[in-house]
């Protein structure tokens, strides 16, 4: 770890700042996982006032790499001139184009900064989840009967399409899986005839 000769002032200021910081708000949505997360702006917002009030700042530098990855180093700075490097975070790039690098860079900056300053996303739905009633699941009985009784592959496909859309509308992944398994079973039965 690289740091200035002394980090006493920085450490004291960071301790005060961490006592003042709140969690980063999960205000961005990930449609793929149907979840929310705290983006880079939320992490920065979570630390901005506490850092400013305690003479702290940070910089994030990008290091070159021969691989398809981004490398970000977060350095914490104090108004006394003290500093501490929090190390380099390397993340692979999922798509080798400008968008892929940009996405990986933002992701790396968010995680590097969060780790460096000790800020975590707020569990904004944790209490609600523990108090929430169990999710009602879709009744698939009629759909399963229709799938099992489908006389042809075309009929099977039509019945499955209707059933699957109903499960999607309910956002019931268990029903989707059950219906898919029933369709595949009936498809095998029809192919054997």
pLDDT of res. 129: 39
Bridge partners (DSSP) of residue 73 are: 61, 88
- What is the pLDDT at residue 32? 66
Residue 63 and residue 48 in contact, taking contact as beta carbons nearer than 8 Å: no
Whole-number pLDDT of residue 127 = 42
Q: Read off the pTM.
A: 0.60
User: 104, 188, 113, 176: which is closest to 140 by C-alpha?
Assistant: 176
pLDDT of res. 73: 96
What local confidence, expressed as pLDDT, does residue 33 receive? 65
| pLDDT digits 0-9 by tens, 147-177 | 888 899 899 899 889 988 888 888 888 888 8
**Are 187 and 148 contacting, i.e. CB atoms less than 8 angstroms apart?**
no
Distance CA 179, CA 167 (A): 9
- Identify the pLDDT of residue 136: 63
Q: Is 58 helix (H, G, I), strand (E, B) or coil?
A: strand
Strand 28-30 with 83-92, pairing: unpaired
**pLDDT reported for residue 191:** 85
Rounded mean pLDDT for each run of 10 residues along the chain, 193 residues in total = 92 93 76 72 89 96 90 96 94 88 90 89 50 63 85 90 87 82 87 81
Q: For residue 128, what pLDDT is reported?
A: 41
3-state SS assignment for residue 63: strand
């Amino acid at each position: 770890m690289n740091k200035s000769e002394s980090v006493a002032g920085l450490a004291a200021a960071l301790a005060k700042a961490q006592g003042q910081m709140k969690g980063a708000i999960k205000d961005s949505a990930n449609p793929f996982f149907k979840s929310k997360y705290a983006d880079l702006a939320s992490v920065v917002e979570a630390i901005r006032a506490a850092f400013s009030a305690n003479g702290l700042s940070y910089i994030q530098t990008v290091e070159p790499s021969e691989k398809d990855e981004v490398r970000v180093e977060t350095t914490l700075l104090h108004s006394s001139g003290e500093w501490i490097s929090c190390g380099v975070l390397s993340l692979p790039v999922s798509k080798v184009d400008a968008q892929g690098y940009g996405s990986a860079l933002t992701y790396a900056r968010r995680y590097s900064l969060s780790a460096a300053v000790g800020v975590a996303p707020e569990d904004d739905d944790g209490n609600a989840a523990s108090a929430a009633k169990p999710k009602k699941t879709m009744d698939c009985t009629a759909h399963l009967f229709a799938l099992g009784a489908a006389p042809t592959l075309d009929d099977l496909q039509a019945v499955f399409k209707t059933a699957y859309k109903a499960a999607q509308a309910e956002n019931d992944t268990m029903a989707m899986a059950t219906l898919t398994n029933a369709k595949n079973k009936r498809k095998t039965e029809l192919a054997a005839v």
